[in-house]
């Protein structure tokens, strides 16, 4: 539970399990996830990415317009509605290092999740925050951003990651 997993690790393709109650253990996992995410550095992390199959997501980014830090944990997050309007943005993933692609996703989502205090939160988000959350919530069901690409592009990216990791591990 202390390091990032990379494709093609099979845990990245498994579904995370719902949490019954947000307790000390879940908060400890979320804290560790945030440390790993910030060190990487990244803006979001799902528990699957560190080998824990629990529905936990942590996000941290700075809003470009307000310069405000957006940081929170989500337990059992689920998207309950999507806007028809979509937007294309570049995505990357800590589990697929050095690889980026333009991905089309809904511009606005409505989601619900448990917060650190077991309170059910329901809210609507858009922009970068919506993008991060869709990406991370996909992870919880074993889906990666490369799954939105053609089979050929996906395979090329995965091969590049394997080559990158081989070089990195031999350095």
Mean pLDDT per 10-residue segment, the chain (171 residues) = 87 96 97 95 96 97 90 98 97 95 97 98 96 98 96 94 86 67
Residue ranges of domains in the chain: 10-170
Whole-angstrom Cα distance, residue 81 to residue 107? 11
Whole-angstrom Cα distance, residue 140 to residue 53? 8
The per-residue pLDDT for 13 is 96
CA 150 to each of CA 3, 92, 140, 153: distance values in angstroms, whole numbers, following the listed order: 29, 16, 21, 5
The per-residue pLDDT for 73 is 98
The per-residue pLDDT for 168 is 81
The per-residue pLDDT for 99 is 95
The per-residue pLDDT for 112 is 98
The per-residue pLDDT for 171 is 67
Residue of 35, 102, 129, 136 marked active site: 136
Q: Is there a catalytic annotation at residue 136?
A: yes
Q: What is the CATH architecture assignment of 10-170?
A: Alpha-Beta Complex (3.90)
- The pTM is what? 0.94
């Amino acid at each position: 539970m202390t390091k990032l997993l990379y494709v093609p690790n099979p845990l990245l393709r498994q579904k995370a399990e719902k949490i019954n109650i947000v307790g000390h253990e879940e908060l400890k996992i979320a804290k560790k996830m945030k440390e790993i995410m910030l060190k990487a550095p990244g803006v979001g992390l799902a528990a699957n990415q560190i080998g824990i199959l629990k529905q936990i997501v942590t996000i941290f980014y700075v809003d470009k317009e307000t310069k405000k830090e957006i940081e929170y944990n989500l337990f059992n997050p689920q998207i309950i509605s999507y806007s028809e309007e979509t937007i294309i943005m570049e995505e990357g993933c800590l589990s697929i290092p050095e690889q980026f692609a333009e991905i089309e996703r809904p511009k606005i989502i409505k989601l619900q999740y448990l917060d650190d205090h077991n309170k059910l939160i329901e809210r609507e988000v858009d922009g970068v925050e919506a993008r991060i959350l869709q990406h991370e919530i996909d992870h919880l069901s074993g889906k990666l951003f490369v799954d939105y690409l053609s089979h050929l592009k996906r395979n090329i990216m995965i091969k590049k990651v394997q080559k990158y990791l081989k070089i990195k591990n031999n350095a």
